[in-house]
A = this chain, B = another copy of it.
């Protein structure tokens, strides 16, 4: 290790301990994502740096116990608990036993806590701070645990896992209405931007969509709050607590756009993340007691700025990339498909494949500024009509013009950028393991995650024992049973 610039390491130094921690997780934000957004802002807003550029302190390695390429569940669990686990695990260890999390430990110490996300609040990242299940897709169970977690601020999407099965759009398989249950516990429930903005006290449960919030590029600002607005409101609520606060903010959909290889949606959600970071940093600079750490869980998509297109096209695209192509795009791939579907509905009976391709071409012209489709590109569109492949055909059309590459619809193993500001910042430097980030945050906040883990394990064992004896009692003694 390098000799510390500041003289002494400081985890034990109270003067350097933060009262509050804001942990940002820009899900799926890789090193190239940062360059992409900065290059764009330099060209279109004359801003040479991202809000977090000056506070980069190193990078983080993200492998899980089951793969060199982590998923968001194992990635978030590492930050939330300081323990590596398998892909798919939500705050449980490799033996599926619950692990104490920063949020629950902070809650236990009387601090205010919050979670602000743009995905379903039951998605892997927020779930790993506020619930314990062996498999990330158990989102109904996650929701039920989340309203018991004690979090003072819960903002995001995912209402479908909170409504009883009888409600339209619900994904629950039981009759529980978790929104009512939350209200009974004292939560105010809000479901749109105005409702959130008018709040002045917590606790609050804000669910602004049945599933994920809209991509920033598609968002109606009158209906859904931005990540920056949610962050600002959440900070105003949790900062009233004299015992300090722990807040996790996830720019969730940076990842989803990566999975869809949707460069413009990826870019605009990164810019929304950047704006939320500005809000948090402004807050931290003002109070002087707040540590802000931002670190992705993994990269998504294998994004590269630059792509070898000359070899196929006779176009020398190497040594360039063109943000202006993304600047012309006015909707996510999903929004474009909605527009295509609307056009299909108006095609006359007996419409030909050419008519269908024309419908896609019209949407590309209107929403992506692409008016120069080649015959080969029209043929590609025709081949993927009516299939999900159309998504990647459109991606390719846009990204070839932007000279951008993607190599996967999944994640990659590349180290992610580490940013930190505030008291305790000197502990975040160099290339760190993702579990170290969680461990150090716990130490700086005086949270004993091991003790909480022990409590949770005991609780689980008692519950299992109780369930077992209930089952035994119900089924009665069974001769010859093991």
Q: Which residue of chain B has its CB nearest to the CB of A87?
A: B319
- Contact partner, A32, options B70, B414, B417, B425, Cβ 8 Å: B414
Given A5-B5, A407-B304: A68 and B53 interface contact (C-beta under 8 Å): no
Contact in complex: B5, A55 (CB < 8 Å): no
The verdict on A71 contacting chain B, using a C-beta distance below 8 Å, is yes
The verdict on A351 contacting chain B, using a C-beta distance below 8 Å, is no
Contact in complex: B319, A411 (CB < 8 Å): yes
Beyond the given A59-B59, A304-B414, A305-B412, please list 13 additional residue pairs across the A-B interface where CB-CB is below 8 A.
Answer: A1-B54, A2-B55, A5-B5, A5-B6, A54-B431, A56-B59, A57-B58, A67-B319, A69-B320, A69-B321, A305-B413, A308-B407, A406-B407
Instruction: Report the minimal beta-carbon distance from A448 to chain B, rounded to whole angstroms.
Output: 26
Interface segment out of the listed A33-41, A125-133, A214-222, A458-466:
A33-41
Contact in complex: B405, A302 (CB < 8 Å): yes
Inter-chain contacts of A68 with B (CB < 8 A): 39, 305, 320-321
Q: Which residue of chain B has its CB nearest to the CB of A70?
A: B319
Contact in complex: B39, A308 (CB < 8 Å): no
The verdict on A167 contacting chain B, using a C-beta distance below 8 Å, is no
Inter-chain contacts of A56 with B (CB < 8 A): 58-59, 429-431
Within A383-416, the residues touching B (CB, 8 Å) are: 405-415
Contact in complex: A32, B431 (CB < 8 Å): no
| 6 residue pairs from A and B, CB less than 8 Å apart | A31-B415, A32-B414, A49-B431, A87-B319, A306-B408, A405-B412
Alpha-carbon gap, A299 to B319, bound state (A): 11
Inter-chain contacts of A304 with B (CB < 8 A): 299, 302, 304, 407-408, 412, 414
The verdict on A346 contacting chain B, using a C-beta distance below 8 Å, is no
Alpha-carbon gap, A61 to B318, bound state (A): 18
A38-81 CB contact bits vs B (8 Å, 1 = yes)?
A: 11000000000110011111110101000111110000000000
Inter-chain contacts of A421 with B (CB < 8 A): 2
The verdict on A104 contacting chain B, using a C-beta distance below 8 Å, is no
The verdict on A232 contacting chain B, using a C-beta distance below 8 Å, is no
Inter-chain contacts of A425 with B (CB < 8 A): 2, 5
Inter-chain contacts of A302 with B (CB < 8 A): 304, 306-308, 405, 407
